[in-house]
Structure formats: C-alpha cells, structure tokens
Chain A
Amino acid sequence: MKIVRMKDLTKRFGNIIALDNVNLEIEEGEIYGLLGPNGAGKTTAISIICGLISFDRGEVYVFDKDIRKDAEFIKKNIGIVPQDVAIYGDLTAYENVKFFASLYGLKGKELKENVEMALEFVGLSDKAKEVPNKFSGGMKRRLNIACAIAHRPKLIIMDEPTVGIDPQSRNHILESVKKLNEMGSTIIYTSHYMEEVEAICTRISIMDHGKVIAEGTKEELTSMVTDVNTVYIEIGSIDGIKEEELKGIKGVKDVEIKDSTIKITSLKDVSNFDDIIHYFISKNIPIRNLRNEIPDLETVFLTLTGRKLRD
C-alpha cells in the first residue's frame, strides 16, 4: 500500500505558488524525508496531507483514500508533530497528551496506558505533572512529539521537530524517530538540516520553491550530481610517487599532487579503493591521513539550485 500519493498537486496562497505540480509516493514503512530551505513548501504539503488546508489542483491519496472524501478516516490514522510547538502551556504534560489522544477516540484504561507510554517514550515521565510553561525548549519539543504518538498512528508526520534545540535533545529525537519507525509507523520527516535527513531517512525528496527538484535514496541523489569519487591521501614525503603509475590504476581519472597531499579522482561506479591503498603499501610509503569525499545532499542542492540550503 502506498501511504501517501500526490499527483500534480498545486497550491496557491494568493500570488504565491506554495506547491507547484508536486508528485510524491511514499511507501509503507519508510522514513521519508522532505528536505528544503524555508519557504520550499514542506509545511504546506504536510498540511494538505493532514486535511488541514485545501488545494487548487491535483490529487492526494493517503492510505489509498482520497483526502477530499475520507478526511476523517485519514486524520484518525495520522499523528502530526507540528513545526511550531503546539501544546497548552497551562495544562500538565500528562493532561496535554491525554486531551489530544482522547480526540482520536481513546478512552479509559487504554487512554491512560497510551498516554503514560508516550511520555515514557519521549523521556518525560518524571515531568508528567508539571506544566510546559516551565519546560526547556527541548522538553517542549519532546512533549510536542508525545502528543502526536499516543494514539498509535500508522503515519507520523514530523515537521522540523528539531528546530532550535540543543544537540543532545536533537539526538534523542532522531533516535526516537528510528524507534517509532521500527515499531511500525511510516514517518514523514521534514527538515532543512541535510545531516538529519541523511542520517535517518530511507528516501528523500528535495524541495525548492514549491517544486520537488530531486527524489530518491541518498545514494541516488548524490550520484545525480556527480559521477566521481574523490580521495585525499596525506603522506610524509611524496618522493618516489609517480603520477603516471597512479593514473594507471583502474578507474582513476585524475591525480593532483599538492605539498604532501594527493587528490585522486575516480569514476564513481568503479571500486578501486583497495588498489590505491595497495599502491602506497607496496612502495612502503606510510599513509598519514586518508579522507574520502562523498558528495552530500548539500552539494546536490547547491548543484541543482545554485544556492545553499541554509542562507
């Protein structure tokens, strides 16, 4: 089953085209990343999936159901972690999770257990009776997640859940995303931090100005922009190294020697790592440092748009 299917989705806010002919397919069990700078249209896409806003053109199916016809069913099976923390500052953490979970029909013992479990999951059990007004940013973000998962949704959507928090809380959240996925939920994760998306997502759409400009696994995406693989090797002395010999190794396209560092560029689909290292070992030249430069999503974005993800 396709969890989400968007066809030619277009959404305008007045003159602004927030989504421009977007096509997306998200499979069950994925951690699907939406990567793009601010204003790319990520939140708009998510709000449409959740049935929160209308759209101008195209089709949106969630759980194989039309969002315009079966919004209630769809909403029931989604848990959303909004971009802006959406909790009651005056209600306790427990009351917050309980209220939102009860809107999904949970009650009685099941409600109580699920609420406790959700708080436990985000590590807020010991703060259950405290009000979020006194929480740190990271704790609020975690409660924001707890409020979205207590009803055990099939699809969990997280809209930039790590904005403005400390690295420790961020790692905690990234770990919990993986755990939620292992527990059976499909995840949609939006971010403008490419490191996060690279770290956890199984498939990624890169968005810009309302368009999906590239889609695929991380490897697929990086190979779109480059077909070479670059290795930097630092050695003590370059005496005895012959450029010609290095160029003779299979797959090597180019060799540059600068000071004590050698930059070797190879074709991406040829694996020649062993051969390169063997060359140095056979010449008895000790390698001081070795760095493999893999193009990241930032490079992909830069190549496709000429801009950086974050400016």
Chain B
Amino acid sequence: MRELFLVMNNTVKLFFRRKGNIILLISGIIIPLFFLLFTYGGSGQLRIGVVDKDKSLISADLINSLEKTDKFKVVFLKEDEINDKVSKGKVDSAIVIPQRFEEEILKGNPKDVEIVSIKGEETTLFLKSYLDRKINVLYNLSKASEGNKENFYKMYNLYKNSPFSLKTYIVEDIGKTAVATTRSLGFFIMFLMFSTFNISNFILVEKRDKTFYRIFASPLKSRTYLASNFLVNLILTVFQIAFILALITFILNLSFTKATFDVFLVLVSFGITSIGLSSMIVAFSPSTSYSNVLSTLIITPTCMLGGTFWPLYLMPKSFQKLSDFIPQKWAIDAIEKIQMGGSLSDVYMNIIILLAFALTFILLGIYKIKTSEKMGDFI
C-alpha cells in the first residue's frame, strides 16, 4: 500500500511538472466549453410550430404540456405555412397532430405525430423523443382502460395530477442546450481520450528515460507500478469529468440534478474504458514514438465513427453499424438518452457495454505484459 501511494504521488508530481500535461488538461476542458458558449449561445427555448388537426382534449393537452416544459415555445400554424416557417427558421421544428389522434389512441393504435424540420436538425430527435414518450403513456392508459372512454379520462386525469407523472417525463434539460451539451461533451470525450493516453504513456516515457529500469531494479512489484499509473489516470479523469460538468451546469445556469449525476456516471464509465484502451496501446507499443502514432490512429477515427463530433445519423448506414464496436458511441448514446429524460435504467446497458470494453482492453494489455515478462523483455 505504502509503495502504491509513493509511486502514485510521484506520478502526480511528474504530471504537474511538465507543462504539456497541464496544457492538455486545461484545453480538454476549455475547448469544449468554448464550443458550448459560442456555437449554441442564446435562448434555450425551441420554437415549435404546431398544427392541431384533431382539436381534441388530448391534442390540446399534449400541446399544453409542451409549453409547460419551458423548453418549447409553441407557435400555432396553418398547415400550408409549415414549410415556409421552418425553412426560414421562424420555427425550429413543426409538428402536425393528425386527425382522429384521440380516437385512434382510444382504439389502441396511436397515430404518429408528424414532425417537420430542416433535415439533419438534431433538435428533432429531442422533440420526437419527448412526443414518443407522451404518446406511449397515452397508449398504455388506453390499453389499461380497455377502450372505455370514461375510464380512460379518469385514469388520464389521475396520471396528470399525480406528483410523479408528467413531471418525470418533462426533461430538465431539453432543446438547444441539450444538443449543445451533448456536442461539447463529445469534444470533451475526445480530449479525455488523449488525456488518458497521455498518462498511460508515462510508462513508455519512463522506459525511454530509463527510470523504468531503475524502478524495476528496486523491490517494487511491477503490478504495484502498473496499478499506480491506472489509479492516477482514474483520479485525474474523474476530476476532469466533475470539473467540466460543474462548469457546464454553471454556464448554462442549470441546477445539479440526478441527470447530471447520471451523465457523470456514464462519463466515468467511459473514462475507465478510455484508460483501458490507453493502457492496451501502451502495452503493445515498444516505444513512445510508436504509441504516439498508434494512439492518434485509433482515437481520432474512432471519435469520428463514434459520433463525438457530429450526430451518427448524418453518416452512411454502414458506418452507423460499425459504430456499435466503438465505445464513444455508447457514451454519446447514453448522454443523449439522459438528456431526453432517460434515467439510469435506460442507460445501464450502455454502461455495461462500456465496462465490458474496458475489461477487454485491460485483459489484453495484462496478457501482453505477462507474456513479455515471461520472455524477459519487459524492461
């Protein structure tokens, strides 16, 4: 234990003595924040054009609930105005509630609400997710009331008025800020990967500078040394994640909620994956020049494929499939789900997948180190 802390302490010292490390650490926080501030500055409200063709109790209620979230500003439109208003940016999106919307819900086969927005506009996703959730609730209520209109309204009123109902589905942070946050966290994820690699790479730097030789001539066990590198990496990663989330919360004037904590958990899981990947890269690299090239060749393209820079749906279908094998995708996906109001139970699969990636990377790295130790060329 004492040895572990000794080496950890030394690693932290070395980290803060080298300017490059600090610059990387700070830019990994500053750049995503700049991105957040300048690209998506302004009002957090989405303007939603609404065409209500149903004019029923439920459709009115749906529209009402949109306004209540504070994240959407509802503008009533005529159907033939939609394209004009959307393309001119007068509204961010428009929705059309179809005729017989209420009737079909009562029959148990809800119609989709049509959403019109400029193609590729990511806000659509959030709006759609919000509406899907609402309609899903209505559908479930209708199933439970077995098509009986009276029962349905009774239950619907109960549901509306219960303290945990609607509110739980009204996402704290939806709309523009959510999109901005996701993209800026995407950039953060890339920096985080370079940062974890940088710390894992300390091992190869020590090999290059020969201090590695001296350390292993001492009674210190190699696993203590490797563990200390991993732990320092984890501590700095958690620190960075906490720091950027705190800053985003502060800048966007949000409050700390369970969602913030969930995003924190997702990012920490991703951080562990990233440390695992970095450790593996280092284990398989004979030198710093090799590992530097390898890490760049791995991190940048996987970030592109994993949707950290742009939404995945903007990429060709085949690439989208490929992204299932990329940890970043699962992190971004989880963050989006949380932004849309999902809770931990909606993203636990993502977290498990991330941790499985981490475990795989770590085991491969350990395997590689064990075999080179046996061959006697670990030094």
* Chain B 352-379 interface mask (CB, 8 Å, partner A; 1/0): 0000000000000000000000111101
Is B216's beta carbon under 8 Å from chain A?
yes
Given the complex, which residues of A lie within 8 Å of B216, measured CB to CB? 52
Given the complex, which residues of B lie within 8 Å of A51, measured CB to CB? 217
Given A53-B376, A103-B220: A86 in contact with B214 (beta carbons within 8 A): yes
Given the complex, which residues of A lie within 8 Å of B14, measured CB to CB? 88, 90-91
Is B210's beta carbon under 8 Å from chain A?
yes
Are B218 and A53 closer than 8 Å at their CB atoms?
no
Are B10 and A85 closer than 8 Å at their CB atoms?
no
Is B17's beta carbon under 8 Å from chain A?
yes
Given A90-B17, A91-B17, A103-B3: A52 in contact with B217 (beta carbons within 8 A): yes
Are B214 and A104 closer than 8 Å at their CB atoms?
no
Q: Which B206-261 residues have a C-beta within 8 angstroms of A? A: 209-220
Are B209 and A86 closer than 8 Å at their CB atoms?
yes
Are B213 and A86 closer than 8 Å at their CB atoms?
yes
Are A147 and B214 closer than 8 Å at their CB atoms?
yes
Cβ-neighbour of B219 out of A55, A82, A103 (below 8 A): A103
Are A53 and B377 closer than 8 Å at their CB atoms?
yes
Are B377 and A82 closer than 8 Å at their CB atoms?
no
* Chain A 14-53 interface mask (CB, 8 Å, partner B; 1/0): 0000000000000000000000000000000001001111
19 more CB-based (< 8 A) A-B contacts, given A72-B219, A80-B214, A103-B219: A53-B379, A54-B375, A54-B376, A55-B376, A75-B219, A76-B219, A80-B217, A82-B210, A84-B213, A85-B210, A86-B211, A86-B214, A88-B209, A90-B14, A91-B14, A99-B10, A100-B215, A103-B220, A104-B219
Residue with the highest number of chain A CB atoms closer than 10 Å, among B6, B13, B17, B217: B217
Given the complex, which residues of B lie within 8 Å of A99, measured CB to CB? 6, 10
Q: B residues within 8 Å of A by Cβ?
A: 3, 6, 10, 13-14, 17-18, 209-220, 374-377, 379
Closest to A55 in B: B376
* Chain A 211-224 interface mask (CB, 8 Å, partner B; 1/0): 00000000000000
Are B18 and A90 closer than 8 Å at their CB atoms?
yes
A102 to B7, CA, bound (A): 10
Are A82 and B213 closer than 8 Å at their CB atoms?
yes
Closest to B211 in A: A86
A132 to chain B, nearest CB (A): 11
Cβ-neighbour of B13 out of A47, A82, A89, A91 (below 8 A): A91
Closest to A144 in B: B214
In the assembled complex, 13 residue pairs joining A and B whose CB atoms fall closer than 8 Å, in A order, are A13-B377, A52-B379, A82-B213, A82-B217, A84-B213, A86-B214, A87-B209, A87-B211, A88-B211, A90-B14, A100-B214, A100-B218, A103-B3
Is A300's beta carbon under 8 Å from chain B?
no
A190 to chain B, nearest CB (A): 15
* Chain A 49-87 interface mask (CB, 8 Å, partner B; 1/0): 011111100000000000000001001101010101111
A84 to B206, CA, bound (A): 12
Given A53-B379, A76-B219, A103-B220: A95 in contact with B214 (beta carbons within 8 A): no
